[in-house]
Each structure stands twice: as C-alpha cells, then as structure tokens.
Amino acid sequence: MGRWNSRWRGIRGCEKQTEWEEIRAVTVGVKKHFETKRVVIDKCSAVFGGLESLVDVGGGTGTVAKAIADAFPSMECTVLDLPHVVAGSEGSKNLKYIGGDMFEVVPPADAILLKWILHDWNDEECVKILRRCKEAITSNDKKGKVMIIEMIVQNQKEDDKESIETQLFFDILIMVLVTGKERNEKQWAKLFFDAGFSDYKITHILGLSSLIEVYP
C-alpha cells in the first residue's frame, strides 16, 4: 500500500483546496502533459497527411489545434468546445473556434480529433459522441476518420508492476472524477462498432498513450 498511499498524499498535498479541486488539478496537469507537440505533431504527423480539414472536439483553448494549424498551414482547423470555454479565443488564417455541444452536433471535416475525451464518459455517452463524429466525417459523401488519443489498458507482464499500478491509478482517478473509465482494446472496439464504425487501427505513440484511427 506504500506506493498507493504516496500517490494519494501527492494528490491531496494542498490543504486549501477541496478534494475534488485537488484531484481535478492533477488530472488537468496530466492531460496537458500529453497534449504536447511531441505527442500530437512529432509522433503522429503522418496521420495528418492529405487532410484538408480537422475538428478538435473538446479542444479547450486550442493548444493542440494551434500546433497542428501551424504545422499544416493548408489544413483548415476548428476547435469545438463549450461556448464559455472558447469565448474570447483568437483564431488565425486556418484556425477557428466554435462554441457548441459535441452531443448535439460536430462540424463536418475530413478528420475529427478526440484527445483524452472519451475516458471521461460512460459507454452510452461515448457511443453518442462517436455517432456525432461519424456523421461529421461522412457528410457530403466523404469518408474521413476519427483520431483518438487515449490510454489502452494492456495485459501487462506480472513483473511489470509499475505499469499495472499506473493504469489502475488512472482508472480509479477517472472513476472518482467522472462516470468514465480507462478501457482495453476489446472495450474500445465495442464502442466503435456500436457507433456504426467498421474498422480501426491502433498505434502506440508515447508512454501509456496510443493513437486510434477509426473508420466508417
């Protein structure tokens, strides 16, 4: 229990915050770590080839979308997030912001990017989000793809205690914060097929994170 106790003490290190605020702060920090140029651009640059448009769903203030727009100036990039999140955000020649609800509609594009989004939601909610994404990439007779950056829980070797503990820690953290969970490949595949997709491809990119390309 020593390592688990030390991890939770690290989360609860600030006495002036509520437990929710402390855990949320850690989660936001972890997400920002994975939303770096190294992960999305340097590790995934090949998947953007040939794309004319992309929507970053739940993209916040556009940290990653800006990096993509700068790296691929001919691509039209859009950040979709709640109106109060994108309010005041300044776009550029090939970057714009749209306030909206991913459960209602996702703007049409060649590709949809979901980075560290779906693990916040339960299976039913994920299927709803994915169906909206499928509608977006198949409008006007197009067949694009959905790109997902998430952890894929693996069956680790018995002696790989650090990886097992880290995966369990993230899973518990997500369950504490929201209704979601970390998923293994079988669980991810079920979501994709339930949402009407026909195929997917997984590429390991960094640490415990992977890129999943999902096709209609």
Confidence tier at 85 by pLDDT (50, 70, 90): very high
| Cβ atoms within 10 Å, residue 36 | 15
Catalytic residue among 33, 84, 119, 204: 119
Active site residue 119: yes
**Per-residue pLDDT, 202:** 95
Confidence tier at 205 by pLDDT (50, 70, 90): confident
Of the candidates 165, 131, 171, the one whose C-alpha atom is nearest the C-alpha of residue 151 is: 171
Task: Output 202-208 pairs: Cβ under 8 A, ≥24 positions apart.
Answer: 202/152, 203/44, 203/47, 205/39, 205/43, 205/44, 205/149, 206/34, 206/38, 206/39, 206/43, 207/34, 208/151, 208/163, 208/166, 208/167, 208/170
pLDDT, tens only, 2-56? 333 333 333 334 444 455 545 544 455 455 445 455 667 776 778 898 899 999 9
**Per-residue pLDDT, 164:** 53
Three-class secondary structure of residue 84 per DSSP: helix
Q: State the angle between helix axes of 161-177 and 19-34 in degrees (0 to 180), rounded to the nearest 10.
A: 120
Distances (CA, A) of 64 to 74, 114, 137, 149: 16, 11, 20, 12
Instruction: Select 36-215's CATH number: 3.40.30.10, 3.40.50.720, 3.40.50.150, 3.30.70.150.
Output: 3.40.50.150
pLDDT at 192 over 60: yes
Question: What whole-number percentage of the chain has pLDDT above 70?
Answer: 69
pLDDT at 214 over 50: yes
Task: Judge contact between 144 and 137, C-beta under 8 A.
Answer: yes
Higher-scoring residue by pLDDT: 122, 5: 122
Task: Judge contact between 174 and 119, C-beta under 8 A.
Answer: yes
pLDDT, tens only, 166-185? 555 554 555 545 466 889 99
Please count the helices (runs of H) and the strands (runs of E) in the chain: 8, 8
**Per-residue pLDDT, 37:** 59
Higher-scoring residue by pLDDT: 189, 64: 189
